[in-house]
Structure 1
Amino acid sequence: MPRSLYFTEPRAVEVRERERRDPDEGEVRVRTERSAVSPGTELLVYRGEVPTGMAADATIDALAGTFEYPLRYGYAAVGRVEAVGPGVDSSWLDRRVFGFNPHESHFCAPVEDVLAVPDDCSATGTAFLPNVETAVNLVQDGAPRLGERAVVFGQGVVGLLTTALLGEFPLAELVALDCYPERRERSLALGADAAFDPEGDAGKRVRHRFENGGSETETPDDEIAGADLTYELSGCPDALDSAIAATGYDGRVVVGSWYGTKPAQLDLGGRFHRSRVSVESSQVSTIDPELRGRWSKERRMDVAWDRLRESDPERFVTHEFGISEARKAYELLDERPGEALGVVFEY
């Protein structure tokens, strides 16, 4: 029997059997091999920190419902086509495909909604395609420029992938922040010039780094240069205030985190008021309005496939669990996040 992962209540998941169905016209049935956990969003769902009446993702058919328990969730499944419905070419049989689908051992989807996986991409690596696409979108939204100073708060998988992309730009300096030493070490290997623990006055420390290589001075804060481009990717609402504080005059803060129902408290009465800092959201479901005339989601996905090959996100996998062990996976991410980075389910 096919098995599906359900979030049943805060901090509780179950793997349930479901009826196997034949694909309808225009559909394929996929036998899942791997699916990747997205810790940011999925931990919000696991902890009950999402608006329950909100659509899970109106742009993805498999996630058309709301965040009300019980629900199936996840959007990074890779497997083999084991059956095709009427009207689907038989050449799809046994092809490895990617689907934006919840965690389950089998699923049916319209053939146009699955992506054929290139032969040179592994199942585990491909499960991180949504993370790579998100990093591509973040960089496009931030539009880094020659000689700029950039900062990335949060070095989870998306943060590391974003740092890796920014590391290829001719920036003046790139700084990463994360509370876990192992992640900071990874960011340095991916091109960051410095990596800090965000504890304390992270914004001030970043500005001092840009001003004079990190030594403490008596220069008034208002006269210290800040970042030109700052990303908040930690998922922690408190980090947004630090990200704004790290940003200089007329700088840009791109918020890729989703906080769910957690509020963000901001100090907008000091430097922010006079610094003309821009704060904008970045979310992979859409394309920047300024790019839509030339860019489609298909074009961006082509770039994501190329970056998937280059970035090799499989190296970020720290844990693999059988789908029947899903509870252990979420307990690990929830209670001991410093031990886990990339988490994958096997089927």
Structure 2
Amino acid sequence: MSTSKQHATATAYWTVGPEKGELRHEELPAPGPGEALVRTLYSGISKGTELVVHNARVPQCVAEKMAAPNQEGSFPGPVKYGYLSVGVVEKGPADWLGKTVFCLYPHQDRYVVPVESLTVVPHDVPARRAVLTGTVETAVNGLWEAGPRLGDRVAVIGAGLVGGMVAKLLSAFPLGRLQLIDIDPDKRSFADALGVEFSHPDDALPDCDIVIHCSASQSGLERSLQLVGDEGEIIEMSWYADRHVTLPLGEDFHARRLSLRASQVGVVARSRRHRRTNADRLELAASLLRDPAFDAFLTGSSTFDELPDVVQRLSDGNLDALCHVIEYPRD
């Protein structure tokens, strides 16, 4: 990092057009009262959402609502977007100095934020694993929405980053049955690593109390309608962006009085909104990452200067990943 008397510089990843990203240098202000300068150690790519941004597929009607907490610019671009960042506090209030922290911040090597934006990473959670804090937060919110009960039969459709995370958290619940469902048979080993039963959609067990849908596919949502029991509930955690989905609502949905409800992490789930803050939810998420089984979600790493190429490879399908970790220089 170059310095001057009045400012320093930082490097950040920007989406500058459809399927085009680049690293840009920018001035970094000195931290003011109640602010911290964070040096980034790792950031994670949340593939589903970040590829929507990379491919300029954010609908304009929800562009403002879907903005990340510390986003700069606006959709479709140029926009600085991302929200899985872990670093070390280098400057700021004395009681924050040297702490490893998580922040909902874009991919950037150094940044200044109010300390209220930071979540302290527990000392027994590795910094690399802590990039998953934001995804665990999404899963926690989804489970607060779903409200599983003792002995419930639950299916999670879509063994990606969010679906796997939901299933991992559910594995600690006293359920009657839990299945993680995906069309890819290779996901069985991933489910095994999480300690969760795996099933292909054709073999999944019906009459579920709750189905949590995370596959972002029309076929997956259709199968959710078939697997949930009479008057059961489907929690939709996928974001389809600008894609249109058609459902056979004249079949299971209407005749069996099913419910379909969205879960979105931007606000705390209604069932907890009056008693939990976003900060409480993030603190809980970070604490859950003490379990080393979460390392199964970290499926590759690259250096910060490789980030534009990595995002494009993910978009092209040439790189497969759940959460791909970006490693930053230790200077």
Work out whether the TM-score is over 0.5. yes
Q: Is the 8 A contact 2:299 2:322 kept in 1?
A: yes
Structure having the larger proportion of residues in strand: 2
Aligned residue identity for 1:295: R
> Deviations along 1:230-275, whole A, 9 cap, x unmatched?
0111222442222122212111100111111111111101121111
- Seen in structure 2, the aligned counterparts of structure 1 residues 238 and 48 have a Cα distance that, compared at 3 Å, is farther
Find the partner of 2:316 among 335, 340, 343.
335
Query: Shift of residue 15 of structure 1?
Result: 0.9
How many equivalent residue pairs?
Answer: 319
Q: Is the 8 A contact 1:155 1:234 kept in 2?
A: yes
Distance 1:194 1:315 in 2: 15
Q: Is the 8 A contact 2:12 2:25 kept in 1?
A: yes
Query: 1:259-338 counterparts in 2 under 5 A?
Result: 259-310=240-291, 312-336=293-317
The corresponding residue for 1:221 is none
Query: Shift of residue 143 of structure 1?
Result: 1.2
Q: Is the 8 A contact 2:71 2:79 kept in 1?
A: no
* 2:241 corresponds to 1:257: no
Aligned residue identity for 1:185: S
Distance 2:48 2:287 in 1: 24
Distance 1:312 1:120 in 2: 14
The corresponding residue for 1:91 is 95
Q: Is the 8 A contact 2:85 2:106 kept in 1?
A: yes
Aligned residue identity for 1:318: T
Query: 1:222-237 counterparts in 2 under 5 A?
Result: 226-237=207-218
Q: Which runs of 4+ in 1 moved over 6 A?
A: none
TM-score for the superposition, normalised by structure 1: 0.85
Please, which moves more after superposition, 96-105 or 293-302?
293-302
* 2:50 corresponds to 1:42: yes
- Seen in structure 2, the aligned counterparts of structure 1 residues 260 and 5 have a Cα distance that, compared at 3 Å, is same
- Seen in structure 2, the aligned counterparts of structure 1 residues 315 and 150 have a Cα distance that, compared at 3 Å, is same
Distance 1:155 1:39 in 2: 13
Q: Structure 2: give runs of 5+ residues left out of the alignment.
A: 1-8
Distance 1:16 1:243 in 2: 43
Name the SS for the 2:80 alignment partner: coil
Find the partner of 2:222 among 236, 241, 256.
241
Q: Is the 8 A contact 2:218 2:247 kept in 1?
A: no
Query: 1:1-347 counterparts in 2 under 5 A?
Result: 1-52=9-60, 54-55=63-64, 57=66, 60=69, 62-63=70-71, 65-84=73-92, 89-196=93-200, 198=201, 202=202, 205-206=203-204, 209-210=205-206, 226-310=207-291, 312-336=293-317, 339-347=320-328
Query: Shift of residue 299 of structure 1?
Result: 3.4
Query: Shift of residue 288 of structure 1?
Result: 2.6
Q: Is the 8 A contact 2:163 2:214 kept in 1?
A: yes
Query: Shift of residue 59 of structure 1?
Result: 7.5
Q: Is the 8 A contact 2:211 2:233 kept in 1?
A: yes
Percent pairwise identity: 33
Q: Is the 8 A contact 2:193 2:293 kept in 1?
A: no
Please, which moves more after superposition, 21-30 or 40-49?
21-30
> Deviations along 1:327-346, whole A, 9 cap, x unmatched?
33223322337732220111
Q: Structure 1: give runs of 5+ residues left out of the alignment.
A: 211-225
> Deviations along 1:43-81, whole A, 9 cap, x unmatched?
111111112461264672x12653231100001111112
Aligned residue identity for 1:55: E
The corresponding residue for 1:215 is none
Q: Is the 8 A contact 1:238 1:265 kept in 2?
A: no
Query: Shift of residue 312 of structure 1?
Result: 4.3
Distance 1:191 1:234 in 2: 20
Name the SS for the 1:127 alignment partner: helix
Name the SS for the 1:248 alignment partner: strand
- Seen in structure 2, the aligned counterparts of structure 1 residues 253 and 246 have a Cα distance that, compared at 3 Å, is same
